[in-house]
Amino acid sequence: MNFPIIDFHTHSQREQNDIVEVISLHPSKPKDKKYYTIGYHPWWTLEILSTNQLNTIKNAFLDDPFCLGLGEFGLDNLKGAPMELQEKIFEQQLNIANEVNAPVVIHCVRAFDRLLRMKHALGQTSWAVHGFVRNKTLAKQILDKGIYLSVAPHGQMNVVFEEMLKYVPLDRIFIETDSDTSCNISQRYCIFAALRNLPLEEIQEQLYINFNHFYSSKWKYHIG
């Protein structure tokens, strides 16, 4: 079986053919993408979400088979609303995810202590922290809470990032491009396979298994 290369988290459609891309979509944007997640990013959300806003993401997940999950949303200690307000907005969206059993793609910058606390209190569905670039010590803390990590290997990686990429178990990881166009997703898969000293085909198979598990409630409709 040929397993597709998956761009777990990106913001624009770039590839064709057998590449699976999951677009992170803000609810105000048109839903013209094939596969997507939807949520209120902490950079652009400065007020408590209304019932209508929450229903928008809830109904997208319930009604559209191409909406695979919710996100990205989360916490950012460098940008956005005050952290207390970000936590409330995050909690609002997590409550929707729990209500509809939706997996969640998380944005987190310098707020992992808060994130892990909220995972313990509110994390009833699958979570993945996207864009993870930190060290393997923090990676272990996140993995120990049952959270997946999504990463973007590239050609100019530092030692700390490489050590983390070598450390994370293959059944707990995804690969993404996010907003970085310096490498396409196929190149990132190749860089990661070389770093792990594994055949590319093995990486593709395992990451597809991870994807199928993470998005199990929706992906089954697309594979028959």
For residue 22, give both structure tokens: 């999951």
With b for 16 or more beta-carbon neighbours within 10 A and e for fewer, the 81-94 pattern comes to bebeebbebbebbb
Cα dihedral across residues 149, 201, 16, 183: positive or negative: positive
Question: In the chain, which residues have pLDDT < 50?
Answer: none
Dihedrals φ, ψ of 143, to 5°?
Answer: -60, -35
Q: Which CATH superfamily is domain 6-219 in?
A: Metal-dependent hydrolases (3.20.20.140)
Taking CA atoms, 223 is separated from 60, 105, 178, 217, 218, in Å, by 20, 22, 25, 12, 10
Q: What is the pLDDT of residue 33?
A: 67
DSSP string, the chain: -PPPPEEEEESS----TT-EEEEEE-TTS---SSEEEE---TTT--SPPPHHHHHHHHHHHHH-TTEEEEEEEEEESSSSS-HHHHHHHHHHHHHHHHHHT--EEEEEES-HHHHHHHHHHH--S-EEE-S--S-HHHHHHHHHTT-EEEE---TT--HHHHHHHHHS-GGGEEE--BT--SS-HHHHHHHHHHHHT--HHHHHHHHHHHHHHHTHHHHHHHH-
- Whose tokens are 């450390």? That residue is 167
Residues 100-157 pLDDT 10s: 999 999 999 999 999 999 999 999 999 999 999 999 999 999 999 999 999 999 999 9
Q: What is the pLDDT of residue 224?
A: 57
Q: What is the pLDDT of residue 1?
A: 72
Q: What is the pLDDT of residue 29?
A: 79
